[in-house]
Amino acid sequence: MVMPFGLSNAPSTFMRLMNHIFKALIGRCVVVYFDDILVFSTDLPQHIRHLRDVFTILREQRLFANKEKCCFLSSEVLFLGYHVSGNGIRMDETKVDAILTWPVPTNMHEVRSFHGLASFYRRFIRNFSAIAAPITECLKRGSFHWTPSATQAFEALKQCVTRAPVLALPNFQATFQVECDASGLGIGGVLSQEGRPVAFFSEKLSEAKQKFSTYDKEFYAIIRSLEYWRHYLLHSEFILFSDHQALRFIQGQHKLNARHAKWVELLQDYSFVIRHKSGVANTVADALSRRRALLTSLQVNVEWFDNLCTLYPADPDFSAVWEACRTAPTLGYSLVNGFLFKGVRLCVPKCSFRDAIILEGHKGALAELLIAVIRVTLLRSSILTQAYTPPCQYPMGHGRT
């Protein structure tokens, strides 16, 4: 920010220059931040063409790159504090080590330094604001006062950093999913695609907002999440999940108070489908913990469940899709720990297990667990979802398929 001869606006001027000359390539194969130029491609021949385009522009504009500071033909690169690769985006290992080895703060300066470094990677940590709330409270005091709860939050953040997932790069051709939740201290959200998190959002509630009703907190979580990810969500329809059943009808209410009317007006900018997701099932669907999340959501011991993986190769409905997904996700299908999913829905092979699931789903309380929490959709040979009714009578007469 310090430039010679009083050139205080040099950084912004140079940034404007870079955006202007690379306008045709930005977002297509180039990302520019001041003098850092990142060129990304899907394969080597395409990458060579992109590099030629970038060098041509630099030559025409008489701009020069320092060869010693350049890195070419890399499958992974450190860019602006993140490791970026074809698998997604993850935290910088040096920053992670700095957080893990950080001593317990002894003054306000050390508290601010740790909080600032951890906050830089808050998009990787679910409910960051709620976890870091005791440390945030320490920053509000006039003098240094480190509490036992702040120590617990300090250690909890270190553990969260070690378990931070690899975030998926957004694909604007696929459907986004937004999961929102609220607690007594803060609100949080997860932006995901095809079962992988793209980013996390969290915000600590002020004292006034902590007095909101549960309905208002959940509603506020939706509003703040959509505002935070507005640039991702405005272009197409997305799916919004909330664990508060009443919020399914927020766009159909006729009598609204001033606060709700303002929030409903903000929702009109978006095109989405809202679905209820029970709290026990509202967990982060990331590839690193998919199996654990799946079994935790079921909350039942189904002895034959793991055997489903062995039936896909010979299944008439899913064998072709299963084989194709072994190399890459196909037509919205993906393999997670051997299980075939279409989006977030489990594909059940054509076997006696299919009948068993439906039979179990009609046995009283277990029906609510399987239908409301697992939401297993039985897929047939076509891409569209179809209901399946086995030729038998079910107890309780629920009539669900």
pLDDT at 74: 92
Residue 1 CA to chain centroid, in angstroms? 34
pLDDT at 290 over 80: no
Q: For residue range 224-274, what is the model confidence (pLDDT) as tens digits? A: 999 999 999 998 899 998 877 777 777 667 778 889 889 998 999 999 888
Residue 178 CA to chain centroid, in angstroms? 8
| 352/40: higher pLDDT | 40
The answer to whether residues 11 and 33 touch, using CB atoms and an 8 Å cutoff, is no
**Mean pLDDT on 110-139:** 90
- State how far the Cα of 216 lies from the Cα of 106, in Å rounded to an integer: 38
> Phi/psi of residue 70, each to 5°?
-100, 150
User: Can you point out the beta strands (E) in 7-107?
Assistant: 30-33, 36-39, 76-79, 82-85, 88-91
3-state secondary structure (DSSP) of residue 386: coil
Q: What is the CB neighbour count within 10 angstroms for residue 188?
A: 23
| 178/334: higher pLDDT | 178
> Above pLDDT 70, what percent of the chain?
78
- State how far the Cα of 371 lies from the Cα of 352, in Å rounded to an integer: 19
Q: What predicted TM-score, i.e. pTM, was given to this entire model? A: 0.60
> Phi/psi of residue 254, each to 5°?
-100, -30
> Above pLDDT 90, what percent of the chain?
39
Q: For residue range 53-83, what is the model confidence (pLDDT) as tens digits? A: 999 999 999 999 999 999 999 999 999 889 9
∠237-223-262 over CA atoms, to 5°?
A: 105
**108-117, 259-268, 315-324: lowest mean pLDDT where?**
315-324
pLDDT at 311 over 90: no
78 DSSP β-pair partners:
83
Where does the pLDDT of residue 363 fall: very low under 50, low under 70, confident under 90, or very high at 90 and above?
low
Where does the pLDDT of residue 347 fall: very low under 50, low under 70, confident under 90, or very high at 90 and above?
confident
Q: For residue range 196-227, what is the model confidence (pLDDT) as tens digits? A: 999 999 999 988 999 999 889 999 999 999 99
Where does the pLDDT of residue 332 fall: very low under 50, low under 70, confident under 90, or very high at 90 and above?
confident
3-state secondary structure (DSSP) of residue 275: strand
pLDDT at 90 over 70: yes
**Mean pLDDT on 391-397:** 40
| 256/113: higher pLDDT | 113
Residue where the block lists tokens 């120590």: 151
pLDDT at 392: 41
Torsion angle of alpha carbons 221, 222, 227, 229, nearest 10°?
100
Where does the pLDDT of residue 325 fall: very low under 50, low under 70, confident under 90, or very high at 90 and above?
confident
pLDDT at 309: 76
